[in-house]
């Protein structure tokens, strides 16, 4: 569905040209429809949605949107993806911002206790992954939101591995910023991302990249401009509009199945895999077992397997795609809702072969 729509739009643009009026009207209308679609999917207004290439874009927009001073503090977790840590490490290098590490954990009481020990009057932002990229553990994000709201501390979530896995609501989470992408669990094309900016923050968050398309008024003679009053102010310049336009098909697909049904199916597949992995010698599961603490991602140690690079072996011999890190001897599996039970068993059978 997504690929077919992407091809249709690409051929339309190729045949008539991107600035043919009919083509331009259709593609830009669909582009704006996707803004509303992503907003509806996460329970936000379309005015609060900036359409980006990926989560990395969204994080950088927020990270550079504050007037940082030396000694200001940012709190991130110890399990962030490079795109979730490098923007803040860059702030440290450029402005003298102090970056603090919070241990990622799923138990709310201990997490909040650890967070409280890191928060000071210099804390300007708390940035956390909604789902750990390391082991698929699920952050008690709403509890963190309540904690930070009571202390008036801005709060951002990385939703790369959350959106499309389980229902996500901005009102329930209580965050100020949320970066998501479509190319993972939502099954959109690469280059389909979004950033949620809470209404109260749209005009407070500074724009670091500006250009055509982000102003409501612009006058070169007086060297003056006025930015849009929506999150679209964080978008600028020409782009391939059809990428987001085709994402509408992915959103329709997900909505027709239902986010709750997708979550239930993915969790059942992940649970099936965990049950099989427990019985395989040489494998230790890193992902939490409880449904409330976990997702469709299953991570485990491969240190006890009789192969130096099991990820390459699984792909080369059986075309089973995994994320394996030879350095840490760990493997990560995405038990997406569209997989079959037989495919989960096949993976477990092949891992059993390596263990024997």
Which of 289, 354, 353, 343 shows the shortest CA–CA distance to 321?
343
State the DSSP code for 181.
Answer: E
pLDDT in tens, 260-294: 999 999 999 999 999 999 999 989 999 999 988 99
In the chain, the percentage of residues whose pLDDT exceeds 70 is 100
CA gap 194, 243 in Å, rounded: 12
What domains, with CATH codes, occur in the chain? 2-256 (3.40.640.10), 259-355 (3.90.1150.10)
- Residues 299 and 274: beta-carbon distance below 8 Å: no
φ, ψ of residue 353 to 5 degrees: the values are -60, -45
pLDDT in tens, 96-105: 999 999 999 9
Total-model pTM:
0.94
- Number of Cβ within 10 Å of residue 340's Cβ equals 9
CA gap 234, 225 in Å, rounded: 14
Largest Cα span, the chain:
76
Q: Please state which of the ranges 7-16, 75-84, 195-204 shows the lowest mean pLDDT.
A: 7-16
Instruction: Check residue 24 and give its pLDDT.
Output: 85
- The pair of structure tokens assigned to 356 is 């024997």
CA gap 26, 245 in Å, rounded: 9
Which of 204, 157, 149, 150 shows the shortest CA–CA distance to 177?
157
- Residues 283 and 43: beta-carbon distance below 8 Å: no
């Amino acid at each position: 569905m997504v690929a077919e729509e992407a091809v249709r739009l690409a051929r339309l643009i190729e045949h008539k040209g991107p600035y043919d009026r009919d083509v331009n009207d259709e593609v830009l209308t669909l582009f704006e429809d996707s803004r509303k679609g992503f907003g509806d999917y996460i329970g936000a207004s379309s005015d609060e949605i900036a359409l980006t290439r990926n989560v990395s874009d969204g994080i950088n927009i927020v990270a550079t949107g504050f007037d940082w001073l030396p000694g200001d503090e940012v709190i991130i977790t110890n399990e962030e993806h490079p795109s979730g840590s490098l923007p803040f490490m860059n702030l440290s290098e450029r402005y003298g911002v102090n970056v603090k590490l919070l241990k990622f954990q799923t138990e709310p009481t201990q997490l909040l206790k650890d967070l409280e020990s890191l928060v000071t009057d210099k804390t300007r932002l708390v940035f956390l992954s909604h789902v750990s990229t390391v082991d698929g553990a699920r952050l008690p994000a709403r509890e963190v939101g309540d904690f930070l709201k009571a202390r008036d501390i801005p709060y951002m979530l990385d939703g790369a591995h959350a959106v499309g896995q389980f229902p996500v609501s901005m009102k329930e989470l209580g965050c100020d910023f949320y970066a998501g992408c479509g190319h993972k669990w939502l099954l959109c094309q690469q280059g389909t991302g979004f950033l949620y900016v809470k209404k109260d923050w749209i005009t407070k968050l500074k724009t670091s990249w500006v250009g055509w398309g982000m102003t409501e008024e612009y006058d070169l003679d007086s060297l003056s401009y006025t930015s849009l009053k929506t999150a679209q102010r964080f978008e600028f310049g020409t782009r391939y509009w059809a990428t987001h336009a085709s994402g509408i098909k992915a959103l329709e697909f997900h909505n027709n199945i239902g986010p709750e049904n997708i979550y239930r199916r993915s969790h059942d597949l992940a649970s099936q895999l965990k049950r099989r992995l427990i019985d395989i010698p040489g494998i230790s599961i890193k992902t939490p077992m409880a449904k409330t603490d976990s997702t469709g991602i299953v991570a485990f140690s491969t240190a006890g397997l009789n192969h130096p690079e099991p990820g390459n072996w699984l792909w080369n011999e059986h075309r089973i795609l995994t994320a394996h890190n030879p350095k840490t001897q760990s493997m990560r599996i995405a038990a997406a809702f569209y997989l079959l039970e037989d495919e989960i068993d096949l993976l477990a059978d092949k891992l059993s072969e390596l263990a024997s």
